[in-house]
Structure 1
Amino acid sequence: MLNRAIDQFGLRVRTMNEVEDSHSSSSTVYKCNLYTGENVYLKIPFTTLKFQRELEAYKILKGSVSTPDMLDYWTGDEECTGVFLLSELKGEPLTSKSTPSIAYQIGVLHAEMHAIQPPPEQKLTGIKNEFWQWSSFIEQQFLNFAEDVRGVIDEQLYKRAIDKFEVMKQQLPSPDGPSFIHMDFRPANIIVDHDNVSGVIDFESVRFGSTEIDFTKLYRDYLSYDDRLYHAYQEGYTSVRPLINLENVLPFYRFTDAFNSIGWCKRRGIEKNALFLAENMERLKKYLQ
């Protein structure tokens, strides 16, 4: 499949390495160094739906949000879900050791994405607009993972989690949107080049919906480590669009993220994801105290 994609795009590849990303959506991504000296990426999404989402996302975001350039794509066949040929964003994935200036730029980037609404002139087949059934969408996600979680955690803990979900869901404010939401906006998908944010990658899980869900992983893996970063991010975001009161929604989404992540570990292999599972077990127990 990989060789067919290389032939499809007419690439002259000197070296090639698979890109590892824990807790990803299971796409296969290869970094290719061409004989021209240029680096490009080949991305093979996990499913045809994820391919279609990403294809539509690149078209929607172009000119509004900094992303890799989609140089070409192949829609695949009965043996392949499709392949993207993408340019390289200069830099490395974001770390918690960044500066408030970087956090400010991430806030701007995130808000620019959230400012995008469903395009009235474009019919979408991959990216769904979940905004008008937001409560049902959140509940469906939670209950889908609950089937996997049940076999991993103690039954009493499981029942308490189900009860807590029902109570907290009723306390959520009105949804904010409809906005383009990344659904996996975390450091591994944000590329930073020294003092500048180069852009954001990975659009397989995107939707149109409420912005409230999209702060969860960024807070978990980045903003919660330093109040200066948190405040700088908020300043950057509000320079583009109003920011909802995160304290009103983060407790609910941090709780559901921990619960859903346990289910994700069950689906993708408990042994392979033992550390991530342990982290989320601790988070879940903490939220249920």
Structure 2
Amino acid sequence: MLPNRAIKQLGLKINTMNEVEDSHSSTVYRCTLHNGENIFLKIPYTKLKFRRELEAYEILKGRIAIPNLLDYWTGDEEYPGAFVLSELKGSPLTTNASETAAYQVGVLHATMHTVQPPEGKKLVGVQNEFPNWSNFIEEQFYSFAEDVKEVVEGSLYDQAVEKYEAMKRHIPSPDGPCFVHMDFRPANIIVEGDKVLGMIDFESVRFGSTEIDFTKLYRDFLQFNPTLFRAFKEGYRSIRPLIDLEVVLPFYLFTDAFNSIGWCRRRGIERNALFLENNLTRLRSLLGKSG
């Protein structure tokens, strides 16, 4: 979505502007203003994502390290809205992180999970899915299944659905209700050296069970280094108890691979070809298939 109207509505005086690549549910620009300040202009894809992110900033402000919400525009009939955000002066987390940083990621994650639905406040964007958590997970799975069916061979699809039905029966009671990011991955965790500066991107957040929130962090970061995984768990446990990840991660890693294939079809197979291939490989591996 072109940013010109948002820039005009927000009265931004911009010198330079570059689109951020690794943003999947919003269009994000890193901008340098006339006064030399760096800010981010974020334009969600839908009005719901705008409302969800706006409420997330209200809920998390002063509780979790996040960018400052400097200004926003609520949009109109054609435009979902836009945010002006301060810059966290670091870079995304990588697998080269130190044990200290991994420990702090655990602290950050657990602190977020201490946030519960606000009493007496009606939320429009951030849904509380916890009371019907198993239904929420199932609806997500079978919604994406309609897309997966168009991408994979029939035998693989049937085996995946059969495995899902078998695995879901062994999932323990959900842990919550807690604020869950739903996209807690290295690209959304900003660090500087050994220090974790905060997290970004809240267009997918919910109140729900913590168990889903470890999936992408494990997929993209924790699984590669047992030492960092141990440091993360120590940091998390310093704030709140940690669920048995060995029990829940196999189920959520499986549903993540399956759902991600459906996501790629929705967002464009050609544009997301590498991510699609990675998840097809993951799904086949989790189903004990090769090739």
Normalising by the smaller structure, the TM-score range is over 0.9
Q: Distance in 2 between matches of 1:270 and 1:50?
A: 23
Equivalence map 1:81-92=2 (5 Å): 81-92=80-91
Structure 1 alignment gaps of length 5 or more: none
Q: Distance in 2 between matches of 1:194 and 1:10?
A: 35
- Counterpart in 1 of 2:21? 20
Q: Distance in 1 between matches of 2:7 and 2:281?
A: 44
Q: Distance in 1 between matches of 2:72 and 2:274?
A: 35
| 1:237 is the counterpart of 2:236 | yes
| 1:4 Cα offset (Å) | 2.5
| 1:135 is the counterpart of 2:134 | yes
* Number of aligned residue pairs: 287
| 1:73 Cα offset (Å) | 0.7
| 1:8 Cα offset (Å) | 2.3
Q: Distance in 1 between matches of 2:120 and 2:192?
A: 35
Query: SS at the partner of 1:14?
Result: strand
Q: Distance in 2 between matches of 1:194 and 1:6?
A: 33
- Counterpart in 2 of 1:33? 32
Equivalence map 1:140-179=2 (5 Å): 140-179=139-178
Equivalence map 1:116-265=2 (5 Å): 116-265=115-264
| 1:10 Cα offset (Å) | 2.2
Q: Distance in 2 between matches of 1:160 and 1:256?
A: 13
| 1:7 Cα offset (Å) | 2.4
Query: SS at the partner of 1:96?
Result: coil
| 1:195 Cα offset (Å) | 1.8
Q: Which amino acid aligns with 2:13?
A: R
Q: Distance in 1 between matches of 2:141 and 2:54?
A: 27
Q: Distance in 2 between matches of 1:106 and 1:250?
A: 18
Q: Distance in 2 between matches of 1:6 and 1:148?
A: 36
Query: SS at the partner of 2:95?
Result: coil
- Counterpart in 2 of 1:3? 4
- Counterpart in 1 of 2:107? 108
Query: SS at the partner of 2:171?
Result: coil
Identity value in percent: 66
Q: Distance in 2 between matches of 1:160 and 1:198?
A: 42
Q: Distance in 1 between matches of 2:88 and 2:40?
A: 10
| 1:68 Cα offset (Å) | 0.4
- Could you give the per-residue CA deviations for residues 99-143 of structure 1, whole angstroms, max 9, x where no partner exists? 111110000000011000000122101111110101100000000
| 1:266 Cα offset (Å) | 0.8
| 1:282 Cα offset (Å) | 1.0
| 1:273 is the counterpart of 2:272 | yes
Give the stretch that moved more between structures: 129-138 or 270-279: 270-279
- Could you give the per-residue CA deviations for residues 53-77 of structure 1, whole angstroms, max 9, x where no partner exists? 0000000000110000000111001
Q: Which amino acid aligns with 1:273?
A: N
Q: Which amino acid aligns with 1:52?
A: R
TM-score between both structures, scaled by the size of structure 1:
0.98
Q: Distance in 2 between matches of 1:11 and 1:148?
A: 40
- Could you give the per-residue CA deviations for residues 28-83 of structure 1, whole angstroms, max 9, x where no partner exists? 11111012111001100010000000000000000110000000111001121000
Task: Compute the RMSD of aligned alpha carbons.
Answer: 0.9
Structure 2 alignment gaps of length 5 or more: none
Q: Distance in 2 between matches of 1:272 and 1:42?
A: 23
Q: Distance in 1 between matches of 2:196 and 2:130?
A: 29
Q: Which amino acid aligns with 1:150?
A: K
Q: Distance in 1 between matches of 2:154 and 2:249?
A: 25
Q: Which amino acid aligns with 2:161?
A: I
Give the stretch that moved more between structures: 238-247 or 267-276: 267-276
| 1:6 Cα offset (Å) | 1.9
TM-score between both structures, scaled by the size of structure 2:
0.97
Query: SS at the partner of 1:176?
Result: coil
| 1:93 is the counterpart of 2:92 | yes
Q: Distance in 1 between matches of 2:5 and 2:134?
A: 43
Q: Distance in 2 between matches of 1:239 and 1:36?
A: 41
Query: SS at the partner of 2:157?
Result: helix
Q: Distance in 1 between matches of 2:16 and 2:209?
A: 42
